Chain A
Amino acid sequence: MIKILVLDDDFDAGAEIANLSALGGGAVASFVGQVRGDGELDALELEHYPAMTKKALRKIAERADKQWPLHGVTIVHRVGRLKVGEQIVLACTCSDHRQAAIEACSFIMDQLKTVAPFWKKEIKQDGSESWVEERQSDIDAAQSWND
């Protein structure tokens, strides 16, 4: 079972994890990403490509499902203006085996950084704005799953 959500509003990570756990299997892995409050950051503005976003997220989930024996995958990603500390993303996987669940969850997060059409803009406390640039470490991490 693959569940993809793209939301303006906050989400209940616990409820999403519980829903996936209910599929059985006994091994559930999850990652929740939040807006990191380093330096002068006030908020992130997350732009996306609405016509492409769900398609891209589903492709990532399907790749994970193909590569590992999973009962289910849930990916939730928020868009719009998010304050420091708010949840941005949830990746959750359910399997019979711990390693499969953890690896698939990590794979999904690495892919999210490189093939899902989201762009982050940082909004500082002084009002200045700047687009976040891609990081080589993210590209390398996503690529490493192909090696």
Chain B
Amino acid sequence: MTYQINIVYFSWVKERLGRDQETIVCPASVETIGDLVVHLKASDSVYQQVFSDLKKLRFALDQDFVGLEASLGDSGELAIFPPVTGG
């Protein structure tokens, strides 16, 4: 069994990946954001580079901040971006 997750990227994560969004087909074994990051890093070296330091990344599931341990569940949209710098 596989499922799909939509991912959006911002700031230097978007620039370094060279895309602002994509849909990823995940095996059922990918349950959390942490699992997904591991899955992506294994699939392509560009993810290894951009996701090399997880301390510099933040995540939002359906527009709410979450951590790496968050379950992807039935989420519609995952966002991956650096720490915010507004205000």
Contacts and interface: CB of A to CB of B under 8 A. Distances in A.
A118 interface: yes
Contact of B65 (A77, A115, A118): A115
A120 interface: yes
A115 B85 CA distance: 9
A133 B87 contact: no
B26 interface: no
A52 to B, nearest CB: 4
A71 to B, nearest CB: 23
Contacts of A119: 10-11, 81-82, 84-86
A118 B60 contact: no
Contacts, number: 72
Nearest to A88: B87
A68 interface: no
Interface of B: 8, 10-12, 60, 63-65, 77, 79, 81-87
A132 interface: yes
* Chain A interface extent, by class: 20 to 34
A52 B77 CA distance: 11
A45 B7 CA distance: 23
Contacts of A114: 83-84
A33 B87 CA distance: 7
A116 B60 CA distance: 11
B63 to A, nearest CB: 4
B84 A115 contact: yes
A140 B2 CA distance: 41
B87 A118 contact: yes
B81 A132 contact: no
22 contacts: A33-B87, A46-B86, A47-B10, A48-B86, A49-B8, A51-B8, A112-B87, A113-B86, A114-B84, A116-B87, A117-B60, A118-B85, A118-B87, A119-B10, A119-B82, A119-B85, A119-B86, A120-B85, A121-B11, A131-B85, A134-B82, A134-B84
